[in-house]
Structure 1
């Protein structure tokens, strides 16, 4: 097992130093989840064996502490082990520069949840637009300043998304948390979630309760709900349920598949000397009577 002294050894990276773990604050509104899962356990084990091989990146704060830019998972693992210091590179980023670096460093991960993309893209998008509107900079240390209106194109290219897909993710930040979790769990389709995002929070909450009690809604059900709200300022829960139920998908895939009635069951109702044709005649006669009575009841 690697000794504590070896775990605290500073990697040979230019500008790297040891920072007290207690002085490092998480990035404000950090959009990426730090989970205590199997991968985190592997990271903890790796650091226990080899130390922190890649230093975290932080920026200094006015109160003498630091804000984490890149390395939230490494910091979590170090805390789990009980180390008091961590190798870090200190960079003097302004707010927008810090956002750009934080998002870009985390987008290199293999698995990113839709909710993480949504808030990360939104933070980066806003930062890029602010940089494009600033007049106090002649150059930017992080990327190129963008005129308003081009940030979405540049961001789409940067993160490897189409412009349309980028805007779909940006819409997800308007979802209430429980519905956004359904998107992360792949229970609710992204296209449907985008349509839900145009509903106000109160309606979204009623919709979420409906989906918990019934089933996940389809896009055309949300279209119907939005069409109703174009003509009405408010909606009750009962009205919402009615609209969703009326527009629910109808599963008729097995409606007219072959119906099998066992011989034993038929013997309970027919004399043993009845032929197949005679039994069919009785059955269809009864069905005709049932249909007639049903039609009269519905008229």
Structure 2
């Protein structure tokens, strides 16, 4: 007896009945398009994506995509963007699909729901997904004020952001914080994804700066290899609101309470010409340290003369 998939466990009785009445069609891959507002990074290499691509290369696409018709022709993916990407990469010419009719709001919500529980989501992906779904809920007449829970329309006595928090097993504050990240300029949001800027200072304070101020902050962060602490980020927001924030003020503020330790980054392309191709980064580091120690001893001897 086959095991029930997780998707099937959470389907409504109507969806299960719908599945039994639907036919799986094989559609030419050229007639299938990604969802225009899809919030997730499809091509980001993850172990899960590698396994999926290996599986599709060996046995094809086992689970049909969910698509909806496009007014301009062809079909738009609701569920299955990564399957579509892997299939194109390995050279498949058609894909199994189930065609369903969805409104834009229904499609926005479903596109988010199909992947929101993935453990490898980046902060930027969660930010776009939560924002997309709450906007759809707003258009459906549900409450979506992201900064206050005191007034507004309710859904069975709950705000829509509270309902979303229950659905994704997260808390309201965290969801509101992720949505604030969508106010960051793309390079700063990328800094959040790679860990160079923490989520809380980025969302609670940096996201309130103007685009010009954010761009100036990014220049200083990259040049000096610094990142604002929670307290510094709060102060940046306060100075911005007072109209007193510029690049000079940022530089002074970001130097406060910082260790005097310096960080030096050596680019690989500059180092390669000095080492055999077989050298590992660890071996290269050991050689550099030995040379620096020799240099230091030489400098000390010169000072003693």
TM-score when scaled to structure 1?
A: 0.71
Aligned to 2:246: 236
Corresponding residue to 1:219 among 230, 253, 278: 230
For each residue in 1:233-253, what CA deviation from the matched residue of structure 2 results, as whole angstroms up to 9, or x when unmatched?
x643223222332xx224499
1:147: how far off?
7.5
Maintained 8 Å contact 1:129/1:146 = no
The CA distance in 1 between the partners of 2:260 and 2:58, in whole Å, is 59
Larger radius of gyration: 1
Structure 2 gaps, min length 5: 1-19, 144-153, 262-299
The CA distance in 1 between the partners of 2:103 and 2:217, in whole Å, is 41
For each residue in 1:139-198, what CA deviation from the matched residue of structure 2 results, as whole angstroms up to 9, or x when unmatched?
xxxxxx948971111111111111111100110000111111111112211111111101
Aligned to 2:34: 26
Corresponding residue to 1:118 among 110, 127, 135: 127
1:13: how far off?
9.1
Maintained 8 Å contact 1:225/1:244 = no
The 1:109–1:231 alpha-carbon spacing in structure 2 relative to 1, beyond 3 Å, is closer
1:84: how far off?
1.6
For each residue in 1:52-71, what CA deviation from the matched residue of structure 2 results, as whole angstroms up to 9, or x when unmatched?
11111100111221111111
Q: CA RMSD in A?
A: 2.8
Maintained 8 Å contact 1:24/1:65 = yes
The CA distance in 1 between the partners of 2:237 and 2:83, in whole Å, is 44
Aligned to 1:260: none
TM-score when scaled to structure 2?
A: 0.70
The 1:54–1:108 alpha-carbon spacing in structure 2 relative to 1, beyond 3 Å, is farther
For each residue in 1:194-213, what CA deviation from the matched residue of structure 2 results, as whole angstroms up to 9, or x when unmatched?
11101111100111111111
- SS of the counterpart of 2:238? helix
The CA distance in 2 between the partners of 1:161 and 1:36, in whole Å, is 24
- SS of the counterpart of 1:132? coil
Determine whether 1:68 maps to 2:77: yes
Structure 1 gaps, min length 5: 1-11, 135-144, 254-264, 270-299
- SS of the counterpart of 2:208? coil
The CA distance in 1 between the partners of 2:190 and 2:156, in whole Å, is 34
